[in-house]
Structure 1
Amino acid sequence: MSSAPRRGVVSGVLVVLVVASVIATVLGYGKVVFNAWFIGVCLLILFGLLAMFYLLIRGPKTKAAAQAELIGELPAVPADPGEELRGPDTGLYVGSTVAPSWQDRVVVGDISDRANATITEFASGVLIARQGASDIWIPRESITEVRTARGLAGKVMSADGLLVIRWVLPTGTAIDSGLRADDKTIYPGWVDAFAGQHDSGQGTQE
């Protein structure tokens, strides 16, 4: 049944209910009519709340399932990442998105969990060590760009408020991972350190 006939059926049912309520009230059953409408409205509100909670719980799970093949397994932190070249710098890890979008949040595993973190550059890559969540290892060869941005993964800051690393997963998917540093004066050093990295062709932030 198309949406137009459904709307017609719903409207017809409402008209019948209203007419029946008026007739029942005239016949002296006003209290019964009031109670019936009150219970009906309460049930409708309850149904709406349950549906909303279901969507809130089910939505991320559905998105995670859809992203599973796209994201795949994240690189493991190597036992020996090599010489420490920069950092550790502290801040808030805000999340990761599928590039080039700044809003298409990656929800596979716990990579989307915001957490206080430190970011450190090693000879073989960049480590984002998060408190209360798994560490994120970004191999140097997978990094295509380091830049500053205003927003990422639903977190909006002032201009150049976030440090964002674009990197390519083993599946070939490019993602952006962002950190709001406690000391934003570190941003130029990070950006300059990777200024020669080859861009992945995924485009700029949308």
Structure 2
Amino acid sequence: MDRLLLTLAIAAFFVLCCWAMWRGWKRKARTQSVQVPVFADIPEDLGEPKLEDSGLYVSTTTAGNWQDRIVTRGAGVRSNATWRLYESGVAIERDGAQDFWIPAEAITGVRRSGAIAGKVMGMDGLLVLTWLAGDVPLDTGFRGDPDVYPQWIEAIHAKSEGSAS
């Protein structure tokens, strides 16, 4: 009888912990839905992409805070994705989650990183795009083919330097 009560107590504690995590996730999403603007939809007629890579969309966080995951509107859902760089921005097409668009004028930086919420890796295995959603600076992390990261970094830097002049 003691063993049964202990088992039930542990199971109840586990269910309570899961419920509390779910409530916290929902509360965070509700709070962020006011703070973070809606991500733009991918425009039609973009032409041919300059670069394309497939891999894993890891997460979007507040810029500079690699553990502060944005969870509102499905941004916290890790999924397989394809990133495409166009003259006018970056299209992020995700499997099983909402696609979104990052306009070129919103991009403020790109870099390699070893960590973002949901993934910690050595050797700078992530490509992180820093951008503005309205006035909110965000980092979006992607795990793709590390051999093409230099092409992405060079293309985005060239685009930002070209628009600055």
Alignment TM-score, normalising by the size of structure 1:
0.70
**Residue of structure 1 in register with 2:86 after alignment:** 122
Mind listing any 5+ residue stretches in structure 2 that lack a counterpart?
none
Q: Does 1:187 align with 2:149?
A: yes
- 1:158 and 1:90 map into 2 onto residues whose CA distance is 20
Q: Does 1:146 align with 2:110?
A: yes
Name the SS of the counterpart of 1:109 in structure 2: helix
1:82/1:124 contact within 8 Å kept: no
Which of the residues 40, 49, 71 maps onto 1:75? Answer: 40
Give how far 1:177 is off: 0.6
**Deviation by residue 1:99-126 (Cα, 9 ceiling, x = unmatched):** 1101100100111111111111111100
Give how far 1:47 is off: 4.3
Amino acid paired to 1:168: L
Output the aligned Cα RMSD.
2.0
- 2:4 and 2:14 map into 1 onto residues whose CA distance is 15
Q: Which has the larger radius of gyration?
A: 1
1:161/1:184 contact within 8 Å kept: yes
Q: Does 1:85 align with 2:50?
A: yes
Name the SS of the counterpart of 2:74 in structure 1: coil
Give how far 1:184 is off: 1.0
Q: Which has the higher strand share?
A: 2
1:51/1:82 CA distance change after superposition, 3 Å: same
**Residue of structure 1 in register with 2:140 after alignment:** 177
**Residue of structure 2 in register with 1:107 after alignment:** 71
- 1:45 and 1:132 map into 2 onto residues whose CA distance is 34
Give how far 1:96 is off: 0.6
Question: How many residues align structurally?
Answer: 160
